[in-house]
Structure 1
Amino acid sequence: MKFKLDIKANAIDSFNEALSKYEQGQNGDLKAFKFSIAHLAHSIELVLKMYLQTLEENLVFSKCFKEVLKRSKADGTDLLSAYKALEGEEYDFGQLIHGHTSLHTVTVEQALSIVKCEVCGITGNNFVDQDFIDDINWMKDLRNAIEHFEFEFTAKEVRLCIGRLVRGLAEFTDIFSLFDLDREVGEDRVHIFKVLADEYEHALSEANISVSEQKHLLFAGVRPKHQMFIDWNVYTCPSCGNDTMIPNEDSSSGYRCTLEGCENEESEDIEVDCDICGASWPNGEMTSWEDTYTYVCPRCENPEAW
C-alpha cells in the first residue's frame, strides 16, 4: 500500500510533529527540542515552496528559479519583478522541466529571496517581517548543524525562537492565503499551539518557567528539613498581576518580575526587616521615622495595639 502526502499535508504533518516534540522538550526531555527544530524547519521550507506555487506551479524547481534569476540580472530588477516580466511574456516554465525525472527543488534561501520582494501596494512595506526571516535562517543553520555535525543550544532560546516562528508562520500562511494554520493543528496539540501563537501567553509561559528554574537551582541539593531556612519568596507582580516576582541580585528592591516587557521591581508585598526589632513585614505596612529609622513595623509603631 502506498503512502502519499501532498506538499500541504506534508507541511502540516511536520508542523504537528514539531509541536509534539516541543511539548516533550517542555516536559524535561531537552533532546526532543532537536527534533522539534528539524520538523518545524521542514514545515516552514514546504510552506515557502507553497508560496512559490501560488506564483507559478513549477517555480519550486531549481531549473525554473535559475531562469528567473537570469532574467533578474539581465534586467537589473528584483526576482519578483523578473518573474512577473516572464509571466507577462507567457514564458513556459513547464518546458524547462519536461522529460526530467529527478528534479531538484529550490533552497530555503532561494525561496526567501523572492518572498522578500513582496511589498504591500498601499503602505509600501514588505509583507514579511525581517525578524521572521532572521529566525528562519537561525533555525535553518541550527538544523543543518544538527543533521550534519554537532550543535549546541539553550532550551530557552529554542523555546523563544519556536514561538516567534509559529506566530510568523501563522501570519505568513494567512497573508498569502495558503491555509488556516490553527485549523490544521491536531486536537492533542491545540493547547501547545495556543500558547505559542499568543505572544503574551508565550511570554507568560517563559516567565513561569524562569520562576520554576530559579527555585529548582536554589533548592537543589538542600535537604527538605533545611529548605524552610532558605529566604526565597514568589510575589504577585502588582504591574502585570502574575505570580512572577522572584529574588534578583541586580534589582534595587531585591526582586524582579520575570515576565519579559514587565520586569517590575517594586511591590508593597516584598518583606523587609524592621530597623527596631528585626522582624520581617511587607514593606507596604512599614512606616519611617524621620532622621532615625527607614522601616518601622506596625508593632514597633504602635506597641499598645498589640
Structure 2
Amino acid sequence: MSFTKRWIEEDGPKVQAPASHKLDLHENALDSFNEALTRFKEGTGGNVKAYKFAIQHLSHSIELLFKSHIAQMHPLLIYKNPFTAKPLDREMTIGLWDAVQFLKNSGDPIGKDFEADLLWLKKLRNEIEHSRFDMDVATVRATMGRLVEAIKDFHDHFDDDLSAFVTKGNLPLFEELSDEYRRSLGEARAKAAASTQDGETHDCEFCGERDTGARIDGEVKCQYCGESNYTVDCLRCGADELVSDATLWNDEDGRSDYLCSSCYAHYQSLVAAD
C-alpha cells in the first residue's frame, strides 16, 4: 500500500465522499473521447473549425482518465484542499498536471515517453486556450494521433482494458490515428539516428518528442516536427551548447553573448558565496 493511500485510510479525516464519482469520471472521459472523434470526422468532412474542438475534447478525456484513477485511491482527492475544516467546494477540482504530479509524488512511476507527451499536452492546451488556433490538416492528424497514443499509454500504464474505453464503432479510426503517429515517429527517430553528426540523437525542445533531433552543422533539427534548435558558443569557456540550454548574458551593440549551463552555474555559486 502506498504512503498516500495508507495516510488517507489511517490518519485522514472521515469525510463523506460521493461513491459514484469514479464511474462518472470514466463515463465522462468516454463521452469526451467519442465527441472528439465525432468532431474530427466533421473536420475531415470540411468543417475545419471542428478540429480545434476535437483536440480539446480529446485532451479533456485524458484529464478525466487521470482523475478517475486518482478517485480510486480516494474520491475526495480530485478536489482542491479536500481535508480542510471548511465545507467541500465540489466545483474546485484539480487539473491535469496536478493529477500527474500527485501520481508521481505517491510513488506511481510514469514513463519518460508518456511524461513527454503530457508535458507537450500541457503546452498545447495552453496555446489553444490563449492563442489563435492555427493548424493545418496534417498537423491536426499528427496531434490527434499523439493524443490517441497517450490514451493507449495511460491504459498500458495502469493495466486498464482499452477495449472497454474505445467503442467498437470508433476503434478503426482510433487505430488508424495511432498507427499513423507511431509510424511517423519511428521514421523520424530512424532519420535522426542516421543523419546526426555527433553520434547521438536529441530530444526536441519544441514538440517534446524524444530522440528525434539530429545535430547537423551547428544546430539540432527535429526530424518529426521540423523545428531547429541552434547552438551558441559560451562567452567564458568557448564550449558550444544549445541556445535553449544556454543563458543570454549580453545582447547589447547588436550581438548576443551566452554562458553555457556549467559556466552560469559557476557564476551563480560565486554570487551566492559573496
Deviation at 1:180, TM superposition (A): 2.3
Cα distance change on mapping 1:97 and 1:128 into 2, 3 Å: farther
Match of 1:134 among 106, 111, 119: 119
Alignment partner, residue 165 of structure 1: 147
Match of 1:17 among 30, 35, 50: 35
Q: How many Å separate the matches in 1 of 2:118 and 2:85?
A: 29
SS of residue in 1 equivalent to 2:169: helix
- Cα shift readout 1:2-58 (whole Å, capped 9, x = no counterpart): xx9811100001101111111222333321101101211221111121122233321
**Contact kept? 1:16, 1:189, Cα under 8 Å:** yes
Match of 1:155 among 137, 145, 151: 137
Q: How many Å separate the matches in 1 of 2:26 and 2:85?
A: 22
Match of 2:174 among 180, 186, 193: 193
Deviation at 1:105, TM superposition (A): 0.3
Deviation at 1:176, TM superposition (A): 1.6
Cα distance change on mapping 1:33 and 1:202 into 2, 3 Å: farther
Letter in 2 for 1:17: E
Gaps of 5+ in 1: 65-92, 205-259, 261-306
Alignment partner, residue 94 of structure 2: 106
- Cα shift readout 1:149-193 (whole Å, capped 9, x = no counterpart): 63322322222122111111122123224x423333233322211
Cα distance change on mapping 1:139 and 1:115 into 2, 3 Å: farther
The alignment's TM-score, normalised by the length of structure 2, stands at 0.51
Q: How many Å separate the matches in 2 of 1:174 and 1:202?
A: 19
The alignment's TM-score, normalised by the length of structure 1, stands at 0.46
Q: How many Å separate the matches in 1 of 2:111 and 2:154?
A: 12
Deviation at 1:116, TM superposition (A): 4.0
Alignment partner, residue 161 of structure 2: 180
- Cα shift readout 1:116-136 (whole Å, capped 9, x = no counterpart): 44555xxxx747623211232
Q: How many Å separate the matches in 2 of 1:151 and 1:200?
A: 21
**Contact kept? 1:128, 1:172, Cα under 8 Å:** no
Cα distance change on mapping 1:62 and 1:198 into 2, 3 Å: same
Where do 1:1-306 residues align within 5 Å?
6-64=24-82, 93=83, 96=84, 99-100=87-88, 102-117=90-105, 118=107, 120=109, 126=111, 129-145=114-130, 150-177=132-159, 179-199=160-180, 203=184
- Cα shift readout 1:202-222 (whole Å, capped 9, x = no counterpart): 649xxxxxxxxxxxxxxxxxx
**Contact kept? 2:79, 2:90, Cα under 8 Å:** no
Q: Percent of aligned positions with the same letter in both sequences?
A: 30
Q: How many Å separate the matches in 2 of 1:42 and 1:151?
A: 17
How many residue pairs were aligned? 168
Deviation at 1:101, TM superposition (A): 5.0
**Contact kept? 2:145, 2:181, Cα under 8 Å:** no
**Contact kept? 1:173, 1:180, Cα under 8 Å:** yes
Q: How many Å separate the matches in 2 of 1:115 and 1:101?
A: 22
Letter in 2 for 1:190: L
Root-mean-square deviation over aligned CA pairs = 3.5
**Contact kept? 1:97, 1:103, Cα under 8 Å:** no
Deviation at 1:61, TM superposition (A): 0.5
Q: How many Å separate the matches in 2 of 1:192 and 1:176?
A: 23
SS of residue in 2 equivalent to 1:138: helix
Q: How many Å separate the matches in 2 of 1:25 and 1:174?
A: 29
